Structure 1
Amino acid sequence: MPAALRGIRVLDMCIVLAGPTCGRALAEYGADVIKIDPEHRQPGLTPWLEVGRGKRSICLNITKPAGLDAFYRLVETSDVVLEGFRKGVADRLGVGYEQLKRRKPGLIYVSINAFGQQGPWAVRPGFDQNAQAATGMQVRNGGRDGVPAPPPYTFNDYGTGLMAAYGVIMALLERERTGKGQRVETALSYTASTFSLPYMLDYVGYDRNEIEGPDAKGFNALSRLYQSSDSWFLLSVEDFEGWNRLTRLDSLKHLRGKPEFATAELRDENDEQLSEQLALTFRLNSTEEWARILKGVGVTAIPNQTISELREDSYAQRHSLIQSAKHPDFGRITHGGVSPQLSRTPAVAARSPAFGGDTESILRELGYASPEIDKMRASGAIPRTASVPIA
């Protein structure tokens, strides 16, 4: 089947997670993504295997004249450039938006950093936790009256990469209509703000009652995590009929007759007490037993799974949430699947390349002959070896 982004070439100059996630997302749908790194900027093995999938890799030192010239020749064959430099660095290197736009007017140029391209924070370096701190995420995670704490997952990195890919697709669609390229800007702090939209809402008379802090287990007593005799599960009771079904169980029917739980409003007022009552009952059986019992009365209970359990889960395998492939250098690699599953143009399964392993083949595609490639090796524009081992 044809890939959705077949024929689109992307130059990925980014490091760490956010920018490379954008490149990987585009590669998963068929874009020819070329990862560009200087030889000395070797990635960590784990992120390389995670966000390097589906790309080709060229080691190119653009601070060398021959390296910069090769980059310019690549730009002329490309649709998209991804960069993650601090403000001003790309211009200084000769690869800024205005500089490349003159060479390729239809270019989509994507800038990804921590705090955007404008204002006093634009020159600040930053990682996911910086953006979390600046947008209130760590306060919410620690609780307003507690100690701020970072979430244990870099979702702004991954989210920003996906937001950038979203921006690329929109810019490509707009170019189809006008023939013109444009610059796309996104940042970790922008993504953190987007993920925080419910908490930013305010209006006259709005009474904030948000869950927050490390002890939060859910939204209320009927939509939260409970501990069973052997693990945890999520209870989800959505409406009055769900409450009736739940309290038909012999072990919970005593709750139906309690006046403090008689209506949805009263249950909300006495939420902590209801949580305590349910928690006492749910500790009596295993998660597997509760999932079976609650399913029998039409109530949703989702067991909490570990990653190792998810890898063996038939649902995850059937829907390609977990994928596995043989890598020639690192053996069998297991990784997550993709979310948008297209019927006509599905995602393309691929592995990560050898670091710099496509350098010579890409240069030959550009028309470089062996003597020119040898001169580039001698000048330090490309490595002397065919690929560079990742430590």
Structure 2
Amino acid sequence: MKPLENVKIIDLSRILSGPYCTMTLADLGAEVIKVEAPSGDDTRKWGPPFVNGESAYFLSVNRNKKSIVLNLKTGEGKEILLKLVKDADVVVENFRPGTLDRLGIGFETLKSVNPGIILASISGYGQTGPYSQKPGYDVIAQGFGGLTSVTGELGKPPVKAGFSVADIGTGMWAVIGIQAALLARSRTGEGQWIDVSLVDTMISWHTYLAGNYFASGKNPEPQGGAHPNIVPYQLFESADGYFNIAVGNENLWARFCTVIDMAELKDHPDYATNSDRVINREKLVPLLQDVFHTKTTKEWVAELEAASIPCGPVLKFSEIFEDPHVLAREQVVEVQHPTAGKVKMTGIPVKLSGTPGEIKSAPPILGQDTREILSSLAGLTDTQIDALERGGVVMAGSVAEIDIV
């Protein structure tokens, strides 16, 4: 069995945070029914790049799911959704707070249909508080939540993270919340409402930066590739690229000084302890940088690794996804999509020895499973489904109907 086998999830989410959450759950065995509006998940149209008309963005976070198209603005659409919820374990959504209530399918309504239902709501600022109605986007959350202010180089404009960490991190919190709620329900029989937000994610991840602020009252500043509490623990430029080192204790520092042929630094009063090095980083780092310009990244990494000093190159994606370790960890997988053909994507990061996850199916085309779901789970006949489709309540997709753009 897969760890989440027999867990049924109704996925009302779109774009990134919710779909990343539900893809993770699907990888671990849950049955995920992706409920889309007739226009489809917004990211189906985000690009280029497209792969035979399919958005690379959409493909990256929607594998292992079934797609049903329901118009939730119609009474029939809501009725069908509630039929699906009756047999479900979890509903995931990332609309603006209050949207489900306005549609008539809020938590109390869902609970009246299924007392054990777990609703996971993902939003920008949370379901409560004075900013709850503000729209939530990753870049806004990174700024409001403080990540942007500590990212980049000192004295230069703030920089957002290179990928959507607020969205993806909140999707991960939702996964954790759902698993905790499923465990709690197994003990109490009761469902509950999970409230996670992009801003809360950013704030919770500050950890030692927040601790430093609480202790000192000083706003943390961007460190570029460096660390505020450890030196040297940062990015350096080599003769042909960049690499990172992490000298996290005095034993490492002693070996490090030997490898770079600067043994005189080991017991130097300005650098002997990490506290000394943090205080005097502005003198030490330029000294080290001059040394590292003398050899290539490959040469420095080899020498440092031979002395068991944590280090690593800064890789481009073309290098990451050809690396033998990455391939051995099955972090590049290939699936067959009905219109895009063979599609590569990242693998499952959680490795379970007894009940491993599995990538069983490619991301669905819009409405690919509408007819099957309405028939098997909602108990509708073909005649009833045809009538709903003519009325604009549902849409049953097929590969033949997809436009290649």
Task: Give the TM-score band, short-chain normalised.
Answer: over 0.9
Aligned equivalents of 2:221, 2:3: Cα separation in 1: 40
Change (3 A) 1:265 1:138: closer
1:16 partner letter: I
Aligned equivalents of 1:148, 1:240: Cα separation in 2: 33
Give SS of 2:258's match.
Answer: coil
1:149 maps to: 159
2:13 maps to: 14
Question: Where do residues 1-391 of structure 1 align in structure 2 (5 Å cutoff)?
Answer: 2-42=1-41, 43-44=43-44, 45-141=55-151, 146-201=156-211, 206=216, 208=218, 210=220, 212-213=222-223, 215-219=224-228, 220-249=230-259, 251-256=261-266, 258-350=268-360, 351-365=362-376, 366-383=378-395, 385-386=397-398, 389=402
Aligned equivalents of 1:195, 1:224: Cα separation in 2: 19
2:52 maps to: none
1:373 partner letter: I
Aligned equivalents of 2:260, 2:39: Cα separation in 1: 67
- The Cα shift of 1:265 comes to 4.3
- The Cα shift of 1:208 comes to 4.8
Aligned equivalents of 2:397, 2:304: Cα separation in 1: 61
1:367 partner letter: G
Change (3 A) 1:250 1:154: closer
Aligned equivalents of 2:275, 2:94: Cα separation in 1: 50
- 8 Å CA contact 1:221, 1:272 repeated in 2: no
Deviating more after overlay: 237-246 vs 342-351: 237-246
- The Cα shift of 1:59 comes to 0.8
Give SS of 2:259's match.
Answer: coil
Deviating more after overlay: 196-205 vs 280-289: 196-205
Q: TM-score, normalised by structure 1?
A: 0.92
Change (3 A) 1:211 1:313: farther
- The Cα shift of 1:119 comes to 2.4
Q: Deviations over 1:239-279 (max 9, x none)?
A: 22222212223733353475543454443332222211111
- The Cα shift of 1:376 comes to 0.5
- 8 Å CA contact 1:164, 1:186 repeated in 2: yes
1:375 partner letter: A
Change (3 A) 1:124 1:265: closer
Q: CA RMSD in A?
A: 2.3
User: What residue ranges of structure 2 are gaps of 5+ in the alignment?
Assistant: 45-54
Aligned equivalents of 1:288, 1:148: Cα separation in 2: 31
Q: TM-score, normalised by structure 2?
A: 0.89
Aligned-residue sequence identity (percent) comes to: 31
Aligned equivalents of 1:49, 1:341: Cα separation in 2: 22
- The Cα shift of 1:207 comes to 6.7
- 8 Å CA contact 1:360, 1:386 repeated in 2: no
